[in-house]
């Protein structure tokens, strides 16, 4: 779609407002709106100004002016606005140099795809994230110097089995995988989400209730190229949150909002193609993997801790990445095996379906940065022929201690992954895909505003442990 087509799209859909959107460093959609009459081809040349100093991880106040450059190919109609509203996703430029902004996450994704082509390894990379989320009837929290709490609830939760107003058919802990209604009380809600996703241009493959109780869900999208898939994941989160809100419920992508039950992951399927053919398949290789695919896995596993700074980017992420809750903490790869950090799906025998599934990420990730980092690690593995540990086709959760010797696990917390990112990022700088200023600002922001902020506060459980000593 060209700029003139974008302007015509707005007119054809009788849009009265155009919503201008971009993604901040942490992966949140930001926006402002303009009258449709002001949306002309000139905006695609001149850009739309905004204050970069007010956006997390962006500019200092003395260099705050920035430009948003609409991408005509991203236009869609917002299904949640009362007034007909068209949405366009933007890239970011510096108004003085008119160069793309180094800390624009979407620009990082574009550069990652360009770098892949420059290596000659492939010309296309496909990504397919499986983003899980929880839906609650109630979500309350408070953080003050004198008290702190959170409270969640949903009618299907096991703790409501004895409630006077219980409707029955509650689910047991870890009992949420694939039950039919009336145990699955979110079928209709997920269906509404799917229909809205289709309306905004997302190709949906399936939806279902997930293991976690209460209210864990999964909606699977068909794979797409890296930047386009990141755009779709931003739409996905937007639709999930808004449909839940319209129905009086709250959706959250927090990886571990419920103690004692499974957390929400975002398994990321990925593959490289060249000249219309997959580079991942070799019928003679383990699980049908080519050398390129195996080296790609080697890169993922070697740089896993660094990747998690982008792929599992919150302190809460490491409440999920612990033993005992189907969390993929073991830095191994295996066919079929969901206990390994990298799984090779083999249900579909077609060479075209050959891919690797990185299971450690979660849906709090900024998709532009997370997908790009994964691709860069995979490319590093291919270029340096990094061999992963030998595959292990056993249940790694139940492996005897003597057999676990030498098996590395994911980093224990966000601070450790940020340290890894600070020390191991040369592979990300290749092709100027990531830049030092992006990495430094990201690490600084996360350490100060998340790691330090959480560490400084007394935890409610500490009162249970220590207050009567």
- Residues catalogued as catalytic: 51, 130, 132, 210, 218, 267, 338, 357, 359
What is the distance, to the nearest Å, from the Cα of residue 110 to the centroid of all Cα atoms in its chain?
Answer: 17
The residue among 254, 245, 333 whose CA lies nearest residue 287 is 333
Rg of the chain over CA atoms, in angstroms? 23
User: Under DSSP, is residue 71 helix (H, G, I), strand (E, B) or coil?
Assistant: coil
Q: Which residues contact 428 (CB under 8 A, 6 or more apart)?
A: 306, 373, 376, 434, 439
In order of 96, 279, 289, 290, the CA distances from 284 in angstroms are 54, 14, 8, 8
Which residue in this structure is represented by tokens 């949150």? 241
Angle at alpha carbon of residue 32, lines to 26 and 33, rounded to 5°? 150
The residue among 18, 28, 23 whose CA lies nearest residue 241 is 28
Calpha distance 373→261 (Å, rounded): 29
The residue among 387, 371, 406 whose CA lies nearest residue 289 is 387
Calpha distance 224→228 (Å, rounded): 6
User: 10 Å Cβ neighbour count for 278?
Assistant: 22
Which residue in this structure is represented by tokens 């990201």? 442
DSSP tag of 52: G
Calpha distance 187→182 (Å, rounded): 9
Residue 4 has, within 13 A of its CA and on its CB side, a CA count of 0
């Amino acid at each position: 779609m060209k700029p003139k087509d974008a302007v015509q799209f707005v007119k054809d859909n009788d849009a009265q407002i155009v919503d201008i959107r971009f993604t901040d460093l942490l992966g949140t959609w930001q926006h402002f709106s303009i009258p449709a009459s002001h949306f002309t081809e000139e905006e695609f040349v001149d850009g739309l100004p905004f204050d970069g100093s007010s956006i997390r991880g962006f500019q200092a106040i003395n260099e705050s002016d920035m430009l948003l450059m609409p991408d005509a190919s991203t236009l869609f109609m917002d299904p949640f606005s009362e007034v007909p509203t068209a949405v366009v996703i933007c890239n970011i430029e510096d108004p003085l140099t008119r160069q793309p902004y180094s800390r624009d996450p979407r620009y990082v994704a574009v550069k990652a795809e360009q770098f892949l082509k420059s290596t000659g390894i492939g010309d296309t990379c496909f990504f397919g994230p499986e983003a899980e989320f929880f839906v609650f009837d109630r979500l309350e929290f408070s953080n003050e110097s004198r008290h702190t709490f959170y409270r969640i609830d949903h009618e299907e939760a096991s703790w409501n089995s004895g409630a006077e107003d219980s409707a029955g058919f509650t689910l047991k802990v870890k009992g949420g995988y694939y039950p039919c209604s009336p145990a699955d009380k979110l079928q209709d809600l997920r269906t509404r989400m799917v229909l809205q996703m289709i309306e905004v241009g997302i190709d949906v493959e399936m939806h279902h209730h997930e293991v976690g109780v209460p209210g864990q869900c999964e909606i699977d999208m068909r794979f797409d190229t890296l930047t386009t898939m990141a755009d779709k994941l931003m739409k996905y989160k937007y639709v999930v949150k808004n449909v839940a809100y319209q129905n009086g419920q709250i959706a959250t992508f927090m990886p571990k909002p419920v103690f004692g039950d499974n957390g929400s992951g975002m398994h990321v399927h990925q593959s490289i193609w060249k000249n219309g053919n997959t580079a991942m398949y070799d019928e003679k290789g383990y699980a049908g993997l080519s050398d390129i695919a195996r080296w790609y896995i080697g890169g993922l596993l070697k740089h896993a801790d660094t990747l998690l700074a982008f792929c599992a980017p919150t302190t809460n992420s490491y409440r999920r990445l612990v033993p005992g809750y189907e969390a993929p903490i073991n830095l191994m790869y295996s066919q079929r095996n969901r206990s390994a950090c990298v799984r090779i799906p083999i249900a579909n025998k077609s060479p075209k379906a050959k891919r690797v599934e990185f299971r450690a990420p979660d849906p709090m990730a900024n998709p532009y940065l997370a997908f790009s980092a994964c691709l860069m690690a995979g490319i590093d593995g291919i270029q340096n022929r990094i061999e992963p540990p030998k595959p292990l086709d056993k249940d790694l959760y139940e492996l005897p201690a003597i057999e676990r010797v030498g098996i590395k696990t994911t980093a224990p917390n966000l601070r450790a992954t940020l340290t890894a990112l600070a020390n191991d990022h040369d592979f990300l700088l290749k092709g100027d895909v990531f830049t030092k200023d992006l990495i430094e600002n990201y690490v600084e922001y996360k350490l100060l505003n998340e790691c330090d902020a959480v560490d400084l506060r007394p935890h409610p459980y500490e009162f249970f442990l220590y207050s009567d000593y």
